[in-house]
Amino acid sequence: MALNANREIQRLRQAEDSWADAITGFAGTTRFVRIHLLWFGLWIAVNLGLVGVAHEFDRYPFGLLTLVVSLEAIFLSTFVMISQNRQARAAEIRSELDYQTNVMAEREIDIVMRALHRMAEAQGIGVDDLIVDLQALRRPETSDSP
């Protein structure tokens, strides 16, 4: 029975993978960049006293902002790695399915070729030169050049 790669990948997918894909998908957008530009701009403006000294909560050199951004970077990189690992597993499943399909197709072609050879022999048609050409295609080329 043929394996449906997409169904198998979906079966192996966990809730964490969905979260990681959603977060990674959002983090890779210009909307994410715009939100961060606005957020950082407001944070810096507030803490430079541009909206009033009473509102400052993280004075220059913005230690709290640095901490928040570092934590965000740690979590974002983790989500990206989770998403990449899932994509690698999906690629392995697809690769295995491709290999199985290629092996099956090669077997089927071999059966068809033998049937054609038998029919050609029954009709008295010479195909020996074609068989030699086919066998040459199947042999890996060895070359003396580097």
The amino acid at residue 135 is Q
Instruction: Note down pLDDT in tens along the chain; length 146 residues.
Output: 456 777 777 776 777 778 888 899 999 999 999 999 999 999 999 999 998 889 999 999 999 999 999 999 999 999 999 889 888 988 888 888 889 889 999 999 889 988 988 888 888 888 778 777 777 877 776 555 55
Please give the C-alpha separations between residue 35 and each of 11, 31, 48, 56, 119, in angstroms, as whole numbers: 34, 6, 20, 21, 71
CA-based radius of gyration for the chain: 31
pTM for this prediction:
0.64
CB 93 within 8 A of CB 9: yes
2 Ramachandran zone, left/alpha/beta (phi>0; psi -120 to 50): beta
